[in-house]
Amino acid sequence: MGRVLVTGGSGFLGAHCIVQLLNAGHEVRATVRARKREPEVRAMVAQGGAQAGDRLAIFEADLTADAGWAEAVAGCDRVLHVASPFGGAFKHEDELIVPAREGALRVLAAARDAGVRRVVLTSSFAAVGYGHPPRAEPFTERDWTEVGQADVQPYIKSKALAERAAWDFIAREARGLELTVINPVGIFGPVLGPDYSSSIQIVRGMLAGAMPAVPRTWFGLVDVRDAADLHLRAMTAPQAAGQRFLAVAGEPLSMFQVAQALRRGLSPAEAARVPRREIPDLLVRLMALRSERMRQIVPQLGKRRRASNAKAREVLGWSPRPNEEVILATARSLIDLGLIDA
C-alpha cells in the first residue's frame, strides 16, 4: 500500500478512483480546483461505499497554474492524472488545447520532481480513433487520431495533442518517471452525486422524456467502475509501464439501442419513479428540422468506430461489464439519487 494522488477528485471518474484506492488500503490525496468542493468529494466517496477518514486529504490545485502541485504530490508513490478541462464555450481551439496539454505537462513535471514512480494518465479514445477513413476493423492502442483532418473537432484534437505531449515529456525529461495511459470511450455507470460525465446526459435525457428522437450515432462505452479498476491495475503492474490501454466494454451502441436497453431493462416500479415531460408535436418538428442542420455540421453522424479491449484483458487481466449492464446501472443510480427532473 502507498500514497496515491488523484487529480480531479471531484469528477465522476476521479471519485470512483478514490473509492477503489481507499477500499484497497491506500492513502489518497486528491486535487480540486476550489477547496470548497472538499465536502462534495467526501460525500461522493461515502456514496461509493468507502470510509475515507484521515486517509483522504484534499489539496487545491488548478491545471492552468503551478500553485499547489508540489504540495499535493509530495510523498506520493503514484499519481492518477484524471483531471482534464472539458467543453464549455470557447472562441479558439487553443482555449481547449493549451490547458489540456500544459496541465498534463505540469502534473508530470511535479510528479517527476517529487520522485513519483509512475503516473497513469487518463487520455481518451478521442486520441485514438478520429481523422481516419471508415474502417471495419477495431482501433487498437497502436492507432492515433490524425489531428490535421477537417472532421477532427477541437476537444478531440486537445486529447490527442495532450497525450502526445505527455509521451514526448517521458522520452525527453522523465528521469526515471514511468507513464501509463488509459484511453476510455464514453464513461457511464453509477453516479455518486450531481457531478458526472457528459455522456450520462444521454441516459438522463431519455429517462426524463426530453429526447423525442435520437440521431444516428454510435459510441463505445465503459462502466466508470471498470475504468477506475483499469487505472489501478495500470498503476501497479510492472508490464504496464510505457503502455496505452483502451478502456471499452464491447461493441459500439447506437442511441436507439441505449433507449431499447432502458425500456427492456428497467422494471415498471423503477420507471414509475422517473418524472417525465411531454414534448409538444411542434417542438418535435422543430427539433427534426434542427437535426437536419446538425447532420451537415456534426461530422460524426452515421459513423461507427469499433475499439478493441484485447490488450487490457490480456496484459492486465481486465474484465469489463457488458454494455447493457452499464446502461442500466447508470439509469438506476440517477433514479435512486433523484437526479432526473422534469
Q: Grid coordinates 468507502 are at which residue?
A: 50
Average pLDDT over residues 248-271: 94
Task: Work out whether strand 27-32 and strand 3-7 pair parallel, antiparallel, or are unpaired.
Answer: parallel
Average pLDDT over residues 160-188: 97
Neighbouring residues of 24: CB distance < 8 A, sequence distance ≥ 6: 1, 232
DSSP 50-94: ---GGGEEEEE--TTSSTTHHHHHTT-SEEEE---------SSTH
Residue 90 has pLDDT above 90, yes or no: no
Cα 139 to Cα 9, 161, 185, 223, 288, distances in angstroms: 30, 18, 12, 19, 32
Of 36, 91, 159, 311, catalytic: 159
pTM of the model: 0.92
Q: Where are the beta strands (DSSP E) in 166-217?
A: 178-184, 186-188
Give percent of the chain with pLDDT exceeding 90. 75
pLDDT at 217: 87
133-151 burial, b at 16+ Cβ within 10 Å, e below that, comes to eeeeebbebebbbebeeee
Average pLDDT over residues 235-240: 98
Q: Specify burial of residue 167 (Cβ count, 10 A radius: 0-12, 13-18, 19+).
A: middle
Ranges 206-215, 265-274, 313-322, most confident: 313-322
Query: In 10 A of CB 198, how many CB atoms?
Result: 11
Catalytic: 159? yes
Confidence of residue 13 (pLDDT cuts 50, 70, 90): very high
> What pLDDT digit, counting tens, does each position of 187-231 carry?
999 999 988 888 898 999 899 887 777 888 899 999 999 999 999
Neighbouring residues of 237: CB distance < 8 A, sequence distance ≥ 6: 315, 316
Residue 93 has pLDDT above 80, yes or no: yes
Residue 87 has pLDDT above 80, yes or no: no
d(CA 39, CA 327) in angstroms, rounded, equals 28
pLDDT at 214: 83
Compute the 3-state secondary structure of the chain and give helix, strand, coil in percent, each to the nearest 5: 45, 15, 40
pLDDT at 295: 46
Average pLDDT over residues 287-316: 74
Q: Which CATH superfamily is domain 3-195+220-251+305-322 in?
A: NAD(P)-binding Rossmann-like Domain (3.40.50.720)
pLDDT at 92: 78
Are 9 and 41 within 8 A, CB to CB?
yes
d(CA 82, CA 136) in angstroms, rounded, equals 30
Are 108 and 169 within 8 A, CB to CB?
yes
**What is the helix (H) or strand (E) element at residue 118, kind and residue range?**
strand 118-122
